[in-house]
Amino acid sequence: MKQRITIVDVARQAGVSIATVSAALNNRSGVAEPTRQRIVTVAERLGWSPSLRGRSLSQERAFTVGLVLQRESSVIASDPFFASFISGIESVLEHRGYALVLQVAPTRTRAFERYRRLAADHRIDGVFLTDVSVPDPRFELVQDLGMPAVAINVDPREGISTVRQDHERGIAALLEHLVDLGHRRIAHVSGPKDYIHTRQRENAWRGVLAAAGLRASTPVQEDFSLAGGSRAAATLLARRSRPTAVFCSNDLMAIGFIAKAAEMGMSVPGDVSVAGYDGIDFGAYVRPSLTTVTTAPHALGELAAKALLGMIEGQTASHVDTEPATLVVRDSTGPAS
């Protein structure tokens, strides 16, 4: 790295003080227009733009926000949620001069440590909290640090911002679709049970079954991965009284489930209907194509970023809901056999 041009060079070349240069380039009032013009011209000629380091130090801000993914690598790799969510975040940060620091941690504990270090280093001004668990120690952490934070898909709560996409209506529509097709034994493949979204989806499933007067069997608990879905299929389809339909807590597991079912010689949806949750692109390209509930990770990312930057710049915590997730019927669900 060469680059040695600083505000001092610009000030000298423009024949003004560095204070004036600073004011001019930050569009602060109190700078005569001709002066500003001259300064801008010189800055451009020299190819100068203020160093974030100096600015960071004096403003006590990093102009950076953080996201730590806490998932096993097998899930992270295949799950399109994050890429979309991140590009949503990015589309907002880009125009506001902020950058995203992304970290990945294999376990929740490790992720927690990384959040802690990001804060200790003063590397970031705020954080995104995804994959919230109950209880989630990160809430206390950000509270203690007084660090702006936005949590995804949780109910509104004190002190932090929240962004949420309603899952209930979409899941209700999905299950009603299955009930309408004549299904009575509708099983559920859930995720790790301390994730809040695992609970949300499971509860929605229970709610609809109860409303329809159907009995909810014990969910098969898996890990949100393709392999997990396959394991669930092995378990569920071997039962003497097997379900005629299965609602998987995410698309990855649903796809894994379908693959295993085929391998076991079962037809989907002939022998068993399978549905997922998320609405990943892949769902449209597997055979049979996947009935699911589509979510909007990009929009969540955008809203989350806006909320976070708002907090960083002094606004109070907010809560916002996006459009509810919606049912998409494809070929993996059909009449009960």
Catalog residues that contact DNA under the rule CB under 7 A: 4, 6-8, 15-20, 22-23, 25-26, 28-32, 34-36, 48, 50-51, 53-55, 57-60
Smallest distance, Å, CB 146 to DNA?
14
| Chosen from a copy of itself, DNA, none, partner binding at 20 (C-beta under 5 to 8 Å by type) | DNA
Find, among 327, 178, 333, 182, the residue nearest to 254 by Cα: 333
Judging by beta carbons within 10 Å of its beta carbon (0-12, 13-18, 19+), is residue 42 exposed, middle or buried?
buried
Alpha-carbon span 197 to 167, nearest angstrom: 9
Alpha-carbon span 72 to 189, nearest angstrom: 18
Find, among 8, 2, 94, the residue nearest to 50 by Cα: 8
Question: What DSSP designation does 195 have?
Answer: B
| Chosen from DNA, a copy of itself, none, partner binding at 17 (C-beta under 5 to 8 Å by type) | DNA
Alpha-carbon span 307 to 305, nearest angstrom: 5
CA angle 234, 235, 236 (to 5 degrees): 100
Smallest distance, Å, CB 28 to DNA?
7
Indicate the residue among 78 and 209 with the shorter CB distance to a copy of itself. 78
Indicate the residue among 26 and 107 with the shorter CB distance to DNA. 26
Indicate the residue among 265 and 314 with the shorter CB distance to DNA. 314
Q: Would strands 245-248 and 273-275 be described as parallel, antiparallel, or unpaired?
A: parallel
Alpha-carbon span 128 to 98, nearest angstrom: 14
Smallest distance, Å, CB 33 to DNA?
8
Helix (H, G, I), strand (E, B) or coil at 221: strand
Smallest distance, Å, CB 4 to DNA?
6
Indicate the residue among 1 and 238 with the shorter CB distance to DNA. 1
Q: What is the CA radius of gyration of the chain?
A: 25
| Chosen from DNA, a copy of itself, none, partner binding at 157 (C-beta under 5 to 8 Å by type) | none
Smallest distance, Å, CB 326 to DNA?
45
For residue 133, how many C-alpha atoms fall within 13 Å in the half-sphere facing its CB? 16
Smallest distance, Å, CB 140 to DNA?
24
Residues that bind a copy of itself (CB under 8 A): 1-3, 47, 49-54, 56-57, 60, 62, 64, 73-74, 76-80, 82-84, 86-87, 90, 94, 99-104, 114, 118-123, 125, 145-147, 226, 230, 255-256, 258-259, 262, 280-282, 284-287, 289, 298
| Chosen from a copy of itself, DNA, none, partner binding at 99 (C-beta under 5 to 8 Å by type) | a copy of itself
Smallest distance, Å, CB 281 to DNA?
42
| Chosen from DNA, a copy of itself, none, partner binding at 78 (C-beta under 5 to 8 Å by type) | a copy of itself
Angstrom distances, CA of residue 132 to CA of 88, 111, 167, 205: 19, 12, 15, 20
Indicate the residue among 191 and 279 with the shorter CB distance to a copy of itself. 279
| Chosen from a copy of itself, DNA, none, partner binding at 109 (C-beta under 5 to 8 Å by type) | none
For residue 309, how many C-alpha atoms fall within 13 Å in the half-sphere facing its CB? 19
Find, among 299, 303, 309, 304, the residue nearest to 84 by Cα: 299
Smallest distance, Å, CB 128 to a copy of itself?
13
| Chosen from a copy of itself, DNA, none, partner binding at 287 (C-beta under 5 to 8 Å by type) | a copy of itself
Helix (H, G, I), strand (E, B) or coil at 320: strand
